[in-house]
Chain A
Amino acid sequence: MHNKRTLIFVIALTVLSLVIAAPKNYPVNFKLMGREINFILSSPEIHLNKPFQFDRTLNIKQGLDLQGGVEVTLRADMANISESDRKDALESAREVISRRVDLYGIAEPVITTKIVNNDYRLSVALAGVDDPATALELIGQTAQLVFAELPSSTDSASYADLIPTDLTGQDLTKSTVQFNSQTGKPEVGLQFTTEGGKKFAEITQRNIGKPLAIMLDGFPLSTPIVQETITGGKASINGDFTLEEVKNLVLTLNAGALPVPISILEQKNVAPTLGEESVQASLRAGLLGLGIVALFMILMYGYLGFIAVLGLIIYTLLTIAIYKLIPITITLPGLAGFILSIGMAVDSNILIFERMKEEVRKKIDPRTAMELSFGKAWDAIKDANTATLITTFILFNPLDWPFLNSSGMVRGFALTLFLGIIISLFTGIVVTRTLLRTFYVKK
Chain B
Amino acid sequence: MSKNNLSSTLVILRPMRYIWIYLTLSAAIIIPGGVSLIVNGLKLGIDFTGGSTIVWQVNESQDQSIRSLFQENNIEINKYDRIGEKVEIRTSPLESSLYSKLNSKLKETTSITELSYESIGPTLGAELLQKTLFGLILASALILIYIAYRFRSLKYGVSAILAMLHDLLIVVGVFSLLGKFWGVEIDTLFVTALLTILSFSVHDTIVVYDRIRELKKHHGYLDFEEIVNRAVVETMGRSLNNSMTIIFMLLAMYLLGGETTKWFIFALLIGTVSGTYSSTFTAAPLLVIWNKLEKKKKI
List chain A positions with a Cβ less than 8 A from chain B. 65, 73, 75, 116-117, 119, 132-133, 136-137, 140, 264-271, 273-274, 277-278, 281-282, 284-286, 288-289, 292-293, 296-297, 300, 332-333, 336, 339-340, 342-344, 346-347, 350-351, 354, 357-358, 376, 379-380, 383-388, 390-392, 394-395, 403-405, 407, 409-410, 413-414, 417
A120 to chain B, nearest CB (A): 13
Question: Contact check: which of B119, B251, B264 meets A333 at CB < 8 Å?
Answer: B264
Partner-contacting stretch, out of B14-22, B69-77, B140-148, B173-181: B140-148
Contact, CB under 8 Å: B116 / A269: yes
In the assembled complex, 30 residue pairs joining A and B whose CB atoms fall closer than 8 Å, in A order, are A65-B260, A133-B100, A136-B96, A137-B100, A264-B95, A265-B120, A268-B116, A269-B116, A278-B258, A281-B257, A281-B258, A285-B255, A285-B257, A293-B248, A296-B241, A336-B253, A343-B245, A343-B246, A343-B250, A344-B246, A350-B241, A350-B242, A379-B214, A388-B199, A390-B139, A391-B195, A395-B195, A405-B132, A405-B188, A409-B188
Report A-chain residues with C-beta under 8 Å of the C-beta of B192.
Answer: 333, 395, 409-410, 413-414
Contact present for A264 and B265 (CB under 8 Å): no
Most B C-beta atoms less than 10 A away, residue of A386, A405, A417: A405
Q: B50-65: which have CB < 8 Å to A?
A: 55
CB closest chain-A residue, reference B256: A285
Which residues of A are found within 8 Å of B210, using beta-carbon distances? 379-380, 383-384
Inter-subunit contact A267/B206 (CB<8 Å) = no
Most chain B beta carbons < 10 A, residue from A75, A265, A387: A387
- Residues in A neighbouring B96, C-beta threshold 8 A: 133, 136, 140, 264, 267
Supposing A264-B96, A285-B256, A340-B246 touch, asked if A274 and B115 sit within 8 A by C-beta, the answer is yes
Alpha-carbon separation in the docked complex, A297 to B139 (Å): 32
Question: In chain B, residues 216-236, which have Cβ atoms closer than 8 Å to a Cβ of chain A?
Answer: 234-235
Q: Nearest chain B CB to A59's CB is how many angstroms away? A: 22
- State which of B31-39, B121-129, B280-288, B290-298 sits at the interface with chain A: B121-129
Contact of B206 among A133, A383, A391 (CB under 8 A): A383
Residues of chain B within 8 A of A339, CB atoms compared? 249, 252-253, 257
* Contact A390/B258 with A133-B103, A266-B120, A266-B121 known, Cβ cut-off 8 Å: no
- From known contacts A140-B96, A288-B252, infer whether A296 and B244 are also in contact, taking CB-CB under 8 Å: yes
Give CA–CA (A267, B100) in the complex, Å. 12
* Min CB gap B209→A, angstroms: 8
Closest Cβ of chain A to B24, distance in Å, is 28
- B150 at the A interface (CB under 8 A): yes
Question: Chain B residues near A278 (CB, 8 Å)?
Answer: 258, 260
The 8 closest A-B pairs by CB, nearest first: A343-B249, A289-B252, A391-B199, A281-B258, A380-B210, A285-B256, A133-B100, A289-B249
Q: Which residues of B contact A384 (CB under 8 A)?
A: 202-204, 206-207, 210
Does B45 reach chain A (CB closer than 8 Å)? Answer: no
Q: Which of A354, A379, A380, A417 contacts B237 (CB 8 A)?
A: A354
Q: Bound state CA distance, A403 and B139, in angstroms?
A: 13
B196 at the interface (CB under 8 A from A): yes
- Answer whether residue B211 sits at the interface, using C-beta atoms and an 8 A cutoff: yes
Q: Which residue of A lies closest to B213 (CB)?
A: A379
Q: Is the CB of B135 within 8 A of A395?
A: yes
Chain A, residue nearest B131 (CB) = A405
- How many angstroms from the CA of A192 to the CA of B66 in the assembled complex? 52
> B191: CB under 8 A from chain A?
yes
Contact partner of A274 among B116, B238, B246, CB < 8 A? Answer: B116
A342 to B246, CA, bound (A): 8
Bound: A265/B119 CA distance, A: 8
Q: Please indicate the chain B residues that have their CB under 8 angstroms from the CB of A354 in the complex.
A: 235, 237-238, 241
When C-beta atoms are compared, the residue in chain A nearest to B101 turns out to be: A133
Counting CB contacts under 8 A, is B80 at the interface? Answer: no
Query: Please, which residue of chain B has its CB at the minimum distance from the CB of A336?
Result: B261
A417 to B196, CA, bound (A): 9
CB neighbours of B147 from chain A (8 A): 383, 387
Beyond A351-B238, A379-B210, A379-B214: 9 further Cβ-contacts under 8 Å? Answer: A265-B120, A268-B116, A271-B113, A274-B116, A333-B192, A343-B247, A357-B237, A410-B188, A410-B191
A residues near B55, Cβ cutoff 8 Å:
274
Task: Tell yes or no: B30 within 8 A of A by CB.
Answer: no
Q: Does B189 contact A (CB under 8 A)?
A: yes
Q: How far is the CA of A278 from the CA of B258 in the complex (A)?
A: 6
Contact B260 A405 (CB under 8 A): no
Q: A282-B257, A344-B246, A410-B192 are in contact. Are A271 and B265 (CB under 8 A)?
A: no
- In the bound assembly, the distance between CA atoms of A268 and B99 in angstroms comes to 12
